[in-house]
Amino acid sequence: MAVLKIARMGHPILRQVAATVTDPKSSQIQTLISDMIETLEDCGGIGLAAPQVHVSQRVVIYAIPGQRMGREGEEGVDVPLSVLINPRLEPLGEEMDLGTEACLSVPGLMGNVPRWRKVRLRALDAEGAPFELEVAGFHARVLQHECDHLDGILYPQRMTDLTSLSFVEEARRYFGQTAEH
Ligand code: NI
């Protein structure tokens, strides 16, 4: 296990479309997952996509503490650490929410990003087994943010009004806002 270096905005790997994982059980992918978990624990973020640790493969991990889930009106239930391999998202309905996001690859900044309110996720888990999930609110937001990384998209590219793009310190100081992850 190892804590990996995080790629920051401007690094070309964050602009690439990541490759589909062909063998989820390979030692390369299993080591990558272990290292990503250790890296996320070290950074204290909510989610991490493989391109953020300089690996252009379609792997995402995330875990959501219950108090974060409560912010947009969902039940305050923890989402345990989840591993997504080759995830695909499909919006359910047309409703969108505007919510605050931050990103380990865009350190120190935060901004308001429109996202689908509800999505259906289809992915493989860490053992390569397919599963399906329907989620809403902040959970759906996290999935959209992380899956965007696999397509070379960072959250500022999804912002429709750059007025809210702020340094976390200043947003906290003047608006009482905190970064979501
Ligand atoms: Ni991110």
Q: Sketch out the chain's domains with CATH numbers.
A: 12-175 (3.90.45.10)
Looking at residue 1, its pLDDT comes to 76
CA of 181 to the centre of ligand 1 (A): 8
Active site residue 146: yes
Give tens-digit pLDDT for 33-86: 999 999 999 999 999 999 999 999 999 999 998 876 655 555 567 899 999 999
List strands edge to edge, sheet with 130-136: 47-49, 59-64, 79-91, 118-124, 130-136
pTM across the whole model = 0.93
CA of 102 to the centre of ligand 1 (A): 7
CA of 58 to the centre of ligand 1 (A): 14
Catalytic residue, candidates 74, 101, 146, 180 = 146
Give tens-digit pLDDT for 151-178: 999 999 999 999 999 999 999 888 887 6
Give tens-digit pLDDT for 19-38: 999 999 999 999 999 999 99
CA of 24 to the centre of ligand 1 (A): 22
